[in-house]
């Protein structure tokens, strides 16, 4: 394909929530602006009112349409029906690039792309794990199955794309050294997001924003908040923003510990709206790849405390004083105390805005991704399956 010729790109992923959905939306907007045609295939049973608004905003950009089918998190016999329905629809769209995000999205993109290749149709098959199956423990039977499937699926892959070096290293440790081309392209955020968000006059001390599930550490946040109050000898305030399966349990924990008046639980909302609700953003995850909330908070010039997991040290710096031990409420509380008591903590610890923007903007990410698509189409894998 000639360089500069418009591409037909379809992104495949399961759950239209969180970082993967954000990543895809940013790529769509940037690539459509450059004159390419883009479509999305994802699950129809995940998401709520917040995600529906995001779909409404992105839909006018999708020249190749929005395909929503039931795709379960766990492997299920219903996957075969969804896969066949996806194949029929995608075949009619004649894509140049199928880019799978997350484990299920990677399966869909690579198997459908390979079915098209069997019929002598040239399509590039890319896969970005985004954590996904890399969270599994290879010492456990289900982990062995999932990670062996990842290795098997490499033969249907033209390119692996990692969002950070941590994700690349994890893939090598759990799956093995890639047998296909692999590249790191950091997540990035839109230029208009690189501006400060002021805290409201009635803003809380701390903000948790993200999925309400144990992997993201809301329970660690609640525990650390309570410890910080005890250490200071005075009451504090916090806001927790997000939706998820464990939200009722966190509400119960808050009530049982007598924190109901000091920790508010709110439904999911745009990140920049949430940033105005509190002074300090806390990301207490037990596991991550490259979380967008860290990038969004830094672009909004908010003080940030985060767990030392995934690609977060690649953003804040390997020796950053803003990094806490994962899952350790004592260590997280120590940092919460520091950010409240150390003068100029933000200026001393947070990355410089100019250097941060030059590395983690959506325009940089999308340009690198587009160049990668073009290289894969210019030098296609010789395998037809």
pLDDT tens digits for range 232-290? 999 999 999 999 889 999 999 999 999 999 999 999 999 999 999 999 999 999 988 88
pLDDT of residue 380: 62
- 351 and 315 both lie in a single domain: yes
pLDDT at 3: 61
Mean pLDDT of 352-375: 94
Under 8 Å between Cβ of 221 and 332: yes
383 in any annotated domain: no
Whether the Cβ atoms of residue 341 and residue 234 lie closer than 8 Å to each other = no
Note the pLDDT of residue 384: 47
Spatial distance between the Cα atoms of 211 and 220, rounded to a whole number of angstroms: 13
Residues 47 and 184 grouped into a single domain? yes
Helices vs. strands in the chain: H and E counts, helices first? 15, 13
Is the predicted pLDDT of residue 1 greater than 60, yes or no? Answer: no
| Measured CA angle at 214 (ends 249, 232), to 5 deg | 80
Helix (H, G, I), strand (E, B) or coil at 331: helix
C-alpha torsion angle, residues 219, 221, 223, 224 (rounded to 10): 160
pLDDT bracket for residue 343 (50, 70, 90): very high
Cα(332)–Cα(313) distance, integer angstroms: 15
107-131 mean pLDDT: 90
CATH number of the domain encompassing residue 206:
3.40.50.2000
When divided into structural domains, the chain yields a total of 2
Q: Are residues 206 and 253 in the same domain?
A: yes
Containing domain of residue 159, as a range?
Answer: 8-188+361-378
37 and 184 inside one domain: yes
Residue 1 lies in a domain: no
Is 20 a domain residue? Answer: yes
Based on the fold, state whether residues 104 and 226 are members of the same structural domain. no
- Whether residues 315 and 167 share a domain: the answer is no
Q: How confident is the model at residue 48 (pLDDT cuts 50, 70, 90)?
A: confident
Mean pLDDT for 9-36 is 92
Residues facing 37 on adjacent strands? 8
Encode burial over 286-296: b for 16+ CB neighbours within 10 A, e otherwise.
bbbbbbbbbbb
pLDDT value for 74: 62
Question: In a 10 Å sphere around its CB, with 0-12 CB exposed, 13-18 middle and 19+ buried, how is residue 358 labelled?
Answer: exposed
**Is pTM, for the whole model, over 0.85?**
no
């Amino acid at each position: 394909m000639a360089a500069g010729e418009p591409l037909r790109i379809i992104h495949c992923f399961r759950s239209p929530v969180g970082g993967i959905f954000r990543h895809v939306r940013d790529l769509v907007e940037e690539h459509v602006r450059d004159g390419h045609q883009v479509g999305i295939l994802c699950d129809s049973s995940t998401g709520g009112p917040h995600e529906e608004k995001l779909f409404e905003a992105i839909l006018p950009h999708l020249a190749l349409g929005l395909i929503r089918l039931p795709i379960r998190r766990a492997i299920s016999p219903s996957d075969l029906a969804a896969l066949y329905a996806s194949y029929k629809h995608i075949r009619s769209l004649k894509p140049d690039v199928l880019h799978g995000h997350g484990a299920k999205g990677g399966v869909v993109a690579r198997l459908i792309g390979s079915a098209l290749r069997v019929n002598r149709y040239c399509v590039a098959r890319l896969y970005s794990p985004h954590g996904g199956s890399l969270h599994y423990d290879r010492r456990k039977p289900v982990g062995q199955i999932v990670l062996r499937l990842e290795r098997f699926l490499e033969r249907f892959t033209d390119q692996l794309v990692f969002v950070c070096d941590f994700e690349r290293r994890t893939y090598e440790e759990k799956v093995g050294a890639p047998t296909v081309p692999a590249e790191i392209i950091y997540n990035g955020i839109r230029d208009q997001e690189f501006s400060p968000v002021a805290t409201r006059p009635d803003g809380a001390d701390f903000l948790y924003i993200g999925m309400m599930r144990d992997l993201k550490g809301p329970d660690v946040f609640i525990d650390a908040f309570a410890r910080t109050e005890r250490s200071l000898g005075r009451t504090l305030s916090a806001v927790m923003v997000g939706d998820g399966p464990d939200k009722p349990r966190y509400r119960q924990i808050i009530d049982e510990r007598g924190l109901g008046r000091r920790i508010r639980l709110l439904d999911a909302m745009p990140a920049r709206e949430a940033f105005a609700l509190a002074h300090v953003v806390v990301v207490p995850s037990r596991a991550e790849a490259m979380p967008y909330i860290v990038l969004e908070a830094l672009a909004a010039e908010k003080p940030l405390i985060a767990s030392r997991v995934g690609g977060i040290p690649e953003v804040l710096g390997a020796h950053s004083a803003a990094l806490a031990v994962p899952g350790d409420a004592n260590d997280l509380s120590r940092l919460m105390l520091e950010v409240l008591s150390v003068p100029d903590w933000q200026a001393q610890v947070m990355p410089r805005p100019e250097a941060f923007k030059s590395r983690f903007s959506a325009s940089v990410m999308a340009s690198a991704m587009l160049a990668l698509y073009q290289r894969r189409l210019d030098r296609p894998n010789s395998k037809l399956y």
